[in-house]
Amino acid sequence: MKASIEENIAQVTEQIADACRHAGRPVASVSLLAVSKTRPAEDIRAAHACGLNRFGENYLQEALDKIDELSDLDLEWHFIGPIQSNKTRPIAEHFHWVHSVDRLKIGQRLSDQRPEAMPPLNICLQVNISREQSKSGCLPEEAPELAKALSQLPGIRLRGLMAIPKATDDEQEQRRAFADLRQLLEQLAADVPGLDTLSMGMSGDLIPAVAEGATIVRIGTALFGARIPKNV
Ligand SMILES: *Cc1c(COP(=O)(O)O)cnc(C)c1O
């Protein structure tokens, strides 16, 4: 198990480096977030032993159990799943980043509930960039006003945008969605200071995402293999 995680990390790291070279970007400008949802804590230990320290989780209780179990390691935890407003407190108390804020109320609660002794929680505004029905994320035209409001909350720090574009095998279409998100970030940056993050690209589309400016790629399957189904 450990050997294959190690090989997978080497392969993904090489893919990111290649994509950076093609795009004329420094390799260090893209950070690899290992999406460990449904994977046991042991897989995270194995990945950490290979040099990874940023992990993304979608399911709150599962994440809290792993954060507790792995508290001997120096890890950076990112919440990337849908957020119910009655579940914001443990997120504010236990994570370093949240990528899936898509409305002001969630940002306000995270800001209010962030413990004062901790630095502000890093936030990405999630955008429904492909305008899919019943998908998470604000619409692109809602982003400017939301970003301005989120950037003024003291307990959080708005860092940028996150999106999960419509699934497609067409690389041109993938690139277009990522380019749309990059242009939206550039537009917001005229009004909102400190925006430096584009969280975009998963196992199937990390190369076009890096080509269009991703600064965080969120990779699960390509590192850990197919996910263990949740029986809920
Ligand atoms: C599961 C998930 C990922 C990782 O997807 P893979 O295709 O397994 O790399 C990335 N981002 C979000 C928001 C996810 O839920």
Structure confidence by residue, pLDDT tens digits, 39-62: 999 999 999 999 999 999 999 999
Q: Which atom of ligand 1 is nearest to the CA of 162?
A: 13
The confidence band for 3, taking pLDDT boundaries of 50, 70 and 90, is low
Query: Is residue 206's pLDDT more than 90?
Result: yes
Q: Which one of 36, 78, 80, 136 would you pick to mutate in the ligand 1 pocket, going by the greatest count of ligand atoms within 8 A of its CB? A: 80
Query: Is residue 174's pLDDT more than 80?
Result: yes
Percentage of the chain lying above the pLDDT 70 cut: 97
Query: Is residue 166's pLDDT more than 90?
Result: yes
Query: Is residue 1's pLDDT more than 70?
Result: no
Query: Is residue 227's pLDDT more than 70?
Result: yes
Q: How far is the CA of 110 from the centre of ligand 1 (A)?
A: 23
Q: Residues 185-198: pLDDT tens digits? A: 999 999 999 999 99
Contact 32, 51 (CB under 8 A): no
Q: Which residue has the tokens 């005229």?
A: 190
- Give the global pTM: 0.96
Q: Which atom of ligand 1 is nearest to the CA of 222?
A: 9
With a 6 Å cutoff on the Cβ, whether 91 touches ligand 1 is no
Q: Residues 89-143: pLDDT tens digits? A: 999 999 999 999 999 999 999 999 999 999 999 999 999 999 999 899 999 999 9
With a 6 Å cutoff on the Cβ, whether 106 touches ligand 1 is no
With a 6 Å cutoff on the Cβ, whether 92 touches ligand 1 is no
Angle in degrees, CA 153, 132, 91, rounded to 5: 35
pLDDT of residue 2: 53
pLDDT of residue 226: 86
With a 6 Å cutoff on the Cβ, whether 164 touches ligand 1 is yes
Query: Is residue 21's pLDDT more than 80?
Result: yes
Q: How far is the CA of 218 from the centre of ligand 1 (A)?
A: 6
Please give the mean pLDDT across all residues of the chain.
Answer: 96
With a 6 Å cutoff on the Cβ, whether 160 touches ligand 1 is no
